[in-house]
Amino acid sequence: QRRKEAAHRRRRIIFNNDGNEVVYLCKTATPEEVLRCRTSPLVGSHVDSIFYCTWSSGFGLFTHNTKVGEVFTCKQGMFADNITRDLIEQGTDPLQIMVDFCRRNDLEIFWSMRMNDTHDAWGGDYSPYLFPKLKREHAEYLVGSKEDRPKHGGWTAVDYAHPQVRELAFRFVEEVCCGYDVDGVELDFFRHPTFFKRAAMGLPLGQEELDMMTGLMRRIREVTEEVAEGRGRPLLVAVRVPDSVEYCRGIGIDLERWLAEDLVDILIATGYFRLNPWEYIVDLGHRYDVPVYACLSESRIPGEAGEVRNSIESYRARAMKVWDSGADGVYMFNFFDPYSPLWRELGDPEILKGLDKVYFVTVRGIGNAGFFLAGGERYFRIPILAPQRPLKLEMNRPQVIELPVGDDVLWGKDRGILPELNLRLQVGDLKDAEDISVELNGELLSGGILSRGWLDYMLKPDLVRKGVNRFKIGVKPGSGVTPVVFDLQLWIRYRESS
């Protein structure tokens, strides 16, 4: 009962900190400096929980004072400012610093463990330093090698089919649960989602692999319950996973079984990609009385299209849709500026509703779904439109695309607050705005202005709905063009009526 109550506490924003400040950013080896970089300015914001990852790469490579794994004390190359060893010699470490900070400020603190981070596989300048001793000594644990790389995922991923790997994963969690006064542990299965050699080779997994992971989850639940009983306070288990039961099964995660067996207290969904409308994963978690948090992370779409997707206005729109879906809160990943206004906006839909936003059909891109799992793109159940996946228009074959919107844009009409709505279509091979037709929710738009590859329409406020908005785009008869729609942006700017 107490665990359920703790699971359902208020978390407007969960801040996932990947722990990089202690290896890259700190100028001096003090707790105050660690907190200054990303944490202290968050006091008084909507951040109710900090999920702290003690370093972000290599299975068993940590910046907390582990005896089971390996402490990352490297000071070579780009890690010259790594203060991990200095903090440990002072009798503390980054995780203890975060625990102490959260206790002082009445914040929830989770330790976050990346279940198979493979930054050591990508060939960056950092990769050689992130390859842990465990992998050097036990190459047989890996899904591939530098010379013989798997079809999917990073070659340095450990294969959870080995009992020794599952045992180590358990012991890493057990050590933190027993040694630190955390409120919970997060098992991050999204960074990176490769867990079995068979899946990495492009082969389907069977019940045997699913049972292996479920067995590990049961052991973790057992130890968290034992520690909780001993200290008289709940110890929660959170997981971050893809937002699809089928995709999860494809990589070895029997998600619905975990929920049914009460192995998960908090469900966090998505990362590099999103496969379903937010309502899908919210309904799944709530069916088992598990709170659900929507992960918002940076766009992986390159260029200017990615920059505007990473804008403040874009994050606001994404968060507004999250709240509209019934999710229990927002989870921020790979977003570290502690002075951003978003920390004081995204956790409250009442604040958000009056702020400018921009909505996109696709924010993150889709390539990684297939990178980590053979045929992963077949699990997409949401519309896709981005410069890398455009809509090709043909005569007599109009294209339909749907855009979910979280705003009720007329919320302030009675108070004289009306939105300015701007639809922007990035269209190639179009010479005249009159050569294509654009309908929104069944109404034909007019007055489009074409400039430098962008077709802009000013929309009537009552034309945009809260929920799904349906666009129908076609080529007009006799125009003789075959345009390509690369992007769609819906800008909402609130202003007071004169």
Residues 365-392: what's their mean pLDDT?
A: 95
Tens digit of pLDDT for each residue in 155-189? 999 999 999 999 999 999 999 999 999 999 999 99
- Per residue in 338-351, pLDDT (tens digit) is 999 999 999 999 99
Tell me, what's the pLDDT at 496? 58
pLDDT in tens, 136-160: 999 999 999 999 999 999 999 999 9
Q: What is the 3-state secondary structure (H, E, C) of the chain?
A: CHHHHHHCCCCCEEEEECCCHHHHHCCCCCHHHHHHHHCHHHCCCCEEEEEEECCCCCCCEECCCCCCCEECCCCCHHHCCCCHHHHHHCCCCHHHHHHHHHHHCCCEEEEEEECCCCHHHCCCCCHHHHCCHHHHHCHHHECCCCCCCCCCCCCCCECCCCHHHHHHHHHHHHHHHHHCCCCEEEEECCCCCCCCHHHHCCCCCCHHHHHHHHHHHHHHHHHHHHHHHHHCCCCEEEEEECCCHHHHHHHCCCHHHHHHCCCCCEEEECCCCCCCCHHHHHHHHHHCCCCEEEEECCCCCCHHHHHHHCCHHHHHHHHHHHHHCCCCEEEECCCCCCCCHHHHCCCCHHHHCCCCEEEECCCCCCHHHHHHCCCHHHHCCCCCCECCECEECEECECEEEEEEECCCCCCCHHHCEEEEEEEEEEEECCCCHHHEEEEECCEECCCCEEECCEEEEEECHHHCCCEEEEEEEEECCCCCCCCEEEEEEEEEEEEECC
In this prediction, residue 124 carries a pLDDT of 82
Percent of the chain's residues with pLDDT above 70: 99
pLDDT tens digits for 25-73?
999 999 999 999 999 999 999 999 999 999 988 899 999 999 999 999 9
Q: What is the pLDDT of residue 147?
A: 96
User: pLDDT tens-digit profile of 90-101?
Assistant: 999 999 999 999
pLDDT score for 23: 96
pLDDT score of 497 more than 60: no
Predicted local confidence at residue 498, as pLDDT: 43
Lowest mean pLDDT among 204-218, 437-451, 483-497: 483-497
Whole-model pTM over 0.95: yes
- Mean pLDDT, residues 232-237: 98
